[in-house]
Amino acid sequence: MQRNSLVAAPGGLDEEEWVTVYGFSPGDTNLVLREFEKCGAILKHVPGPRDANWMHILYQNRYDAQKALSKNGMQMNGVLIIGVKPVDAAQRQFLDEKLNSSQGFMALPPQTPSMRAAAASAATPSKASPRPHHFQQTTGDASGRRPTGAIASPAKSMLSKVADLMFGI
């Protein structure tokens, strides 16, 4: 039985559901995840290949995924507008197979701050990805990364730097 809803997949509203979020730089991943956590419990997230501008997010139920889909075209800060769409059928099958075989995915830390701190200190990056799959709270700039704060600002492209130089913006 198939329901008529935003997410076209068989099953009920209580089943897990994937969405794809796109239109952000890898440096804004934590900001995007924090925003999409507001929609509901995120079970997993799978970033795209290195320097990709998208990631897949697995919600605990379809209702939460539909709330995430309603954020399509949302402006997150002054310069970041993101898109959200249901995961394509072929991608969903691949993600479900990977999830069932437990290869390369790491769960997000628990929701409580004390449990999140404990999970973040114990978490290690997966060999399948060069980036860790948990929220990072760094204060230094030793590795060339921007420190993550309450609101991340996107990196400026070369074109925007040239425009700033030419037009004095």
> Does the pLDDT value for residue 42 go beyond 80?
yes
Confidence of residue 131 (pLDDT cuts 50, 70, 90): very low
Q: How far apart (Å, rounded) are the C-alpha atoms in residues 142 and 166?
A: 31
> Does the pLDDT value for residue 92 go beyond 80?
yes
> Does the pLDDT value for residue 98 go beyond 50?
yes
DSSP state of 73: T
> Does the pLDDT value for residue 130 go beyond 80?
no
At 13 the pLDDT is 66
What domains can you pick out in the chain, each with its CATH number?
1-110+151-169 (3.30.70.330)
Instruction: Calculate the alpha carbon distances from 35 to 55, 99, 130 in Å.
Output: 14, 23, 23
Q: What is the mean pLDDT of the chain?
A: 72
The top-scoring range by mean pLDDT among 13-17, 18-22, 106-110 is 18-22
pTM across the whole model: 0.55
Q: What is the pLDDT of residues 113-128, one digit of tens each?
A: 444 444 344 333 344 4
Instruction: Calculate the alpha carbon distances from 141 to 59, 138, 145, 147, 149 in Å.
Output: 32, 8, 6, 6, 12
At 163 the pLDDT is 78
Q: φ, ψ for residue 42 (rounded to 5)?
A: -95, 120
At 73 the pLDDT is 96
